[in-house]
Structure 1
């Protein structure tokens, strides 16, 4: 207490501001200051109205009682609570009403006090204080009619003041609900921010996985070709050419990884164009130069394909060809790209060398492709074909023509396929739905 008094003596304004910030209420200090200023103005107006009663000190005592909580908190650290606010406000209003005047401002003290209590306390406590304030006005109205003579100024305007108290209670209640809704919205924003961050981490993981899988697959093919050229033909030029291509792809992969990981940095990163549907031909060319027997076919106009769909098609084709190199060495593959006014589809089919079973992997490749398709409202099917393995991705190009689906058929197809083939369907991320098209069909 001694420290508080000394601090208040040195810097009263700063001490008062710091005390306001220490209040346990969730409202900004300005709101509390504005309510106190309004109470002070009404109290002064009610005191001035009673100048005819001077030199009695009843109005001054009412003012002190009205602001008893302010010096008690600033000097002694006593935090005002709804009970003390309500009792002090009702007591000050009663002292004012003991000396009635015409067009009295004093009952408006009850309006502000009831609003403050309703904004701080529960609904029951606020309603109880409001009922008590109205009961106080009714009591003074009855006392004026019974006890005071006709020549004496009487308390009047009970209906108007009563409705003012109800209005103050509603305003305080709205402030409290607004505070609750604000905190609830902040909580939802934190949840959405966490979900967005998690989705961004998954997206970066997919990008890094696709880049590394693609670059390492082609680099290993080039290194294998170089080793084969040196071991069998002693063709140094061919080996050097393969090593140069491997070096080029490695540098390109490092640049892609730096750009992708740079998304995690808060500093602005250099903008670089993402791969698009038009780069699929160059992608196939990289695999061809690395030694993979792959053919590419596309005769359609690629201009209707959006950037997001083009990137998804590129990454799906990249991952599919990398899986061919990793899981089916020596296979032949065909990449078919078809585009019309409504859809864009990419099909990658590869053969399986003799004695190599068609097995689904457990890595991030297929799950990443499914996630890309789901995020853009597309369809993806992947599974054994008649003579090998097939991956087909299809995306709508017009938002209004996006496919509608019911989750129950998809769950039924996944379950029946798993029972028939003895394969567990791929696990679905909890933040996404269960589209009907997310199935893996044997013999597709």
Structure 2
């Protein structure tokens, strides 16, 4: 029970210290300010002890004043303004050194620590100003004969400020790197989600469009009492749905980083012909022309072209099922060109462009480094993708 309570207190303490650091605009781990606070207490105790001042209320007060800002912060979470904190520490150190100078003296190290803390938690000009004030005070005490070896202590304060500035800049660099990694991680997650959404949209959209055409054909055949055609249409619809499920599993497995074992390999450019044949079997009036060797295309290029053709045919099935269409895949003259063209039905100026279809195809083309266009040309709706041969 006591161990659990102690752990809970320690967690709260760590969280509060790091939250306080964040308020100051830095993100130091909890042990750095804790170590600094313990070091300050140790130096104050040593400075009072070497003066045999535990019987002197003034020396004890000087030691307490010197560590007051850190003690108040660690115990109450109240953060003093930097200049106020520096002035209080300096005041406590001066009480010790003026009332009872000793040689060597631990008290000036409190100013070294204060200079380092200030530089590690605030802007460089302010930190340098505090360090200069501390060094000036030590130099004056040296000239006054109250501090032997004042020059070494002055250099110590300068080194303390330098160490604090270096620590602050290092922490800022670490924060920038962490922020960069977080942004990259979020962008990677968003990219994977977008890829998955495009895969699902293309596979499901195409399969639904083609299946609906088969189902519509089955309904017409049923009205004509042609049961053979009904069975044939429904079987084609079932085949399209099953193929879509296999395709979808493969796509999700690949995006998730799996090997995709146990599922059919992802489609490539060689399967565009099958895609057109499936659409033709579903009732679309679509022809296919092929020039070159699509089997030799890289897998990524082939998959991208396949998805663009798949989405284009799905759009035709959805918006212009009675149109005359043609799919052409050409690999020649150092370029690869995919064109999907269909007539525009009377009364329809252009296919509907609202949705994920066209933006998804444009994104796929961009990923391939291809030029993509979609629009009216010579009275037809034309989707064209052109990229340099690889």
Q: TM-score, normalised by structure 2?
A: 0.77
**Structure 2 residue 75 is the aligned partner of structure 1 residue 66:** no
Displacement of 1:209: 2.9
Secondary structure in 2 matching 1:25 = helix
**Structure 2 residue 235 is the aligned partner of structure 1 residue 239:** no
Superposition pairs of residues 167-178 of structure 1, within 5 angstroms: 167-178=159-170
**Structure 2 residue 87 is the aligned partner of structure 1 residue 93:** no
Distance 2:237 2:54 in 1: 101
**Structure 2 residue 148 is the aligned partner of structure 1 residue 155:** yes
Superposition pairs of residues 301-380 of structure 1, within 5 angstroms: 301-302=293-294, 304-339=296-331, 343-352=335-344, 355=346, 358-364=349-355, 365-380=357-372
Displacement of 1:240: 0.7
Displacement of 1:255: 5.7
- 1:306/1:397 contact within 8 Å kept: no
Distance 1:88 1:341 in 2: 80
Q: TM-score, normalised by structure 1?
A: 0.68
Superposition pairs of residues 276-287 of structure 1, within 5 angstroms: 276-287=268-279
- 1:380/1:394 contact within 8 Å kept: yes
Comparing 201-210 with 365-374, greater Cα deviation is found at: 201-210
Distance 1:14 1:392, change over 3 A: closer
Name 2:25's counterpart in structure 1. none
Ranges in structure 1 where 5+ consecutive residues have no aligned partner: 1-6, 149-153, 399-444
Displacement of 1:31: 0.4
Name 1:295's counterpart in structure 2. 287
Name 1:34's counterpart in structure 2. 35
- 2:53/2:59 contact within 8 Å kept: no
Name 2:140's counterpart in structure 1. 139
Distance 1:270 1:104, change over 3 A: same
**Structure 2 residue 13 is the aligned partner of structure 1 residue 22:** no
**Structure 2 residue 119 is the aligned partner of structure 1 residue 118:** yes
Distance 1:211 1:168 in 2: 64
Secondary structure in 1 matching 2:383 = strand
Comparing 284-293 with 384-393, greater Cα deviation is found at: 384-393
* CA deviation string 1:305-331 (max 9, x = no partner): 333322221111011122223333333
Displacement of 1:197: 4.8
Displacement of 1:45: 6.0
Displacement of 1:249: 1.7
- 1:221/1:291 contact within 8 Å kept: yes
* CA deviation string 1:166-218 (max 9, x = no partner): 33223323444455555555556555555555554444443333223311221
Distance 1:29 1:316, change over 3 A: same
- 2:328/2:338 contact within 8 Å kept: yes
Comparing 379-388 with 110-119, greater Cα deviation is found at: 379-388
